[in-house]
Amino acid sequence: MKIVLMGAPGCGKGTQSPYVQERYGLCHLSTGDMLREAVTRKTVNGLLAKDAMNAGKLVSDDIVFGIVKDSIKNPECRYGYILDGFPRTLKQAQLMDEAGEKVDKVIEFSAPDEVILQRTSGRWIHKASGRTYHEVFRPPQSPGKDDVTGEELYQRKDDRRDVCEKRLEIYKNETRPLAEYFSKLGVYTMINADRTVDEVRKNIAALLDPIAVATGLK
């Protein structure tokens, strides 16, 4: 069974991926992990990716797909895989199709922009200890101060709201052509991710259980 999970940062994909992995015996492949492993192992595609990054260039779609192809050959992927963060572009999706990697289901996790931004922005950190706070979900007792030491908290650039807004907009622009592409193939479904973990989980199982039965995984 071959599954693609799509969703903006903070949509809940990371929470649900281990459940999908365990329920169907699939391997979980995230683009970042695959890229780091290929570079560490000095595979052909890993070396090409490292050269591109060292030169300050984006890693091309062909190289990224080469790394994905290498990864899905691993023994732990014998029953199928969950792709997380790939494909990121229309060309990457087309390369998969041309290589015969037919996806069984693409699930996009959807939540209102404000929910996504609330989850992804507003984190503050105490440098010395690593203690983390969130403006909404775990606010410090005194704004901008560590609960234990009273020292100033700092915010990473990636946790600022304006940066999170830009990342969300980039995600939307990248995803729109992919949603259209996979819809035409009849494998795309968008689910409401602004619900409890269990509710989202039941939705996912309802979508994937029939495929698992058809492929002999259940």
Known catalytic residue at 13:
yes
Exactly one of 156, 166, 172, 202 is catalytic; name it.
156
What backbone phi and psi angles, to 5 degrees, belong to 6?
-120, 150
Known catalytic residue at 88:
yes
Exactly one of 160, 167, 195, 218 is catalytic; name it.
167
Known catalytic residue at 156:
yes
d(C-alpha 200, C-alpha 153), whole Å: 34
Exactly one of 2, 105, 119, 123 is catalytic; name it.
123
Exactly one of 23, 36, 50, 88 is catalytic; name it.
88
Q: Are strands 123-125 and 132-134 parallel, antiparallel or unpaired?
A: antiparallel
Contact at 8 Å (CB) between 69 and 160?
A: no
Known catalytic residue at 41:
no
Known catalytic residue at 138:
no
Task: Please state whether the peptide bond connecting residue 87 to the residue before it is cis, i.e. omega within 30 degrees of 0.
Answer: yes
Q: What is the DSSP string of 131-178?
A: -EEETTTB--SSTTB-TTT-PBPB--GGGSHHHHHHHHHHHHHHHHHH
Q: Indicate which residues carry an active-site annotation.
A: 13, 88, 123, 156, 167
